[in-house]
Amino acid sequence: MTRFKPSWQAMLAIVLCLAAVILGAMSKPEAAAAAAYPYLGTKGLIIGLAVATALVSAIRIQPVVEALVLFVGAHLVAWLLISGIAGFEGTALAPYFLLLAAAWLLGWRCVAVLSGLRPAADWAKAALRLVIPAIFGAWILIIWEAVTRGAGIPFILLPPPSAIGARFVNSLPVLGADVRQTIFKAVLIGYIVGNLAGFITAILADRVPFLRRGLLPIGNMVSALPIIGVAPIMVMWFGFDWPSKAAVVIIMTFFPMLVNTVAGLAASGHMERDLMRTYASGYWQTLIKLRLPAAAPFIFNALKINSTLALIGAIVAEFFGTPVVGMGFRISTEVGRMNIDMVWAEIAVAALAGSVFYGVVALVERAVTFWHPSVRGG
């Protein structure tokens, strides 16, 4: 039996490396004429490393060893390419991008191998759930960095991640103040008040049919209101500080919670409700012991939706009036100053905060609704 099991990613990577050899130089002549030519003596090393990694991947070895070889080889090739082009941005030729694509294919194969692992230990399963998306996300940044530097994309259009990271590190006090103003004041307060008000109103609407028939159509209409129309009004009513942004967040989170909770309260089956009646249970006993547990997945669905809506609403609301602090204020101001790296740093903070917020709600959901089939199946 052959010991060779080549994957299409490894074979295509080898083909791209051969094409890079045929096409010749990796940088334009002006870069090659410089004394510090970026790839002087390293082009062969880069190609050899990529080909060797692909060939080792094609041998029948343990999947963990194959994944490790692919990880090291692919990332080392990418690092050599990016470090070589530094200082010579915009001079890359076709072989540079071919080798970058080859490295990406090897990284793809690494993720595919890791995805096929079925470890028995729980800690290994948890590690894989973190490692696989981390590698995938890292390659988004690697390709972003390599393409922007190799193609010489203007900084004003798309700065490389390294420049964004440098601005992020150098602006931690400013970013911290913006996070406190936008997230810990406007977003959290508006999120709590909006969801709590929506939940209580849903209970009242479920208890009083008149409210249910009157509120739900209005809720569908109000949920379609544009933020840019509501935010200036809230600023006029509540001033320029965080209360006006919290008011926008309340409006955005109230009706998703209301609609989802009302739908969830109707999700319990007729047989279960008839059983509660045979036990002589009243409305509140049936609500607490049957209908609210049945509505929990709907309620958490609204909480997860609102975790992103709240952040978006608060940031957009700050475009229409705010003190000289806040994520939305910083984005609008730095765009006017052409400090695009600072804008991307704020975007990165918002994305990170939104992901953490959503993740916390999802973890609470798994702990509370552990009995639900969707959670048991996961």
pLDDT value of residue 89: 83
Nearest to 109 by CA among 75, 146, 157: 75
Q: What does the pLDDT read at residue 249?
A: 92
Token pair for residue 359? 């993740």
Q: In Å, how far from its chain's centre is CA 73?
A: 27
DSSP 125-136: HHHHHHHHHHHH
Output phi, psi for 339, to 5 deg: -90, 75
Measured CA to CA, the distance from residue 8 to residue 151 in angstroms comes to 27
The amino acid sitting at 249 is V
How far the first Cα of the chain sits from its last, in Å, is 38
d(CA 199, CA 203): 6
Closest by Cα among 371, 246, 242, 261 to 305: 261
Per-residue pLDDT of the chain (378 residues; tens, 9 = 90+): 446 677 888 899 999 999 988 888 777 776 666 656 777 678 888 999 999 999 888 887 888 888 999 999 999 999 999 988 888 888 888 899 999 999 999 999 999 999 888 887 778 888 888 899 999 999 999 999 999 998 888 888 889 999 999 999 998 899 999 999 899 989 999 999 999 999 998 888 878 777 767 676 776 677 667 777 788 888 888 888 888 899 999 988 988 898 888 888 877 766 666 666 666 666 677 777 777 787 888 889 999 999 988 998 899 888 887 777 888 889 888 888 888 889 999 999 999 999 899 889 988 888 887 766 666 555
Is 169-377 in CATH node 1.10.3720.10? yes
Question: By the 8 A CB rule, do 259 and 199 touch?
Answer: no
Question: According to the model, what pLDDT value does residue 1 have?
Answer: 43
Q: Which residues contact 332 (CB under 8 A, 6 or more apart)?
A: 318, 319
In the chain, where the domains are located: 8-153, 169-377
| pTM reported for the whole predicted model | 0.79
Q: Whats the size of the chain, residue-wise?
A: 378
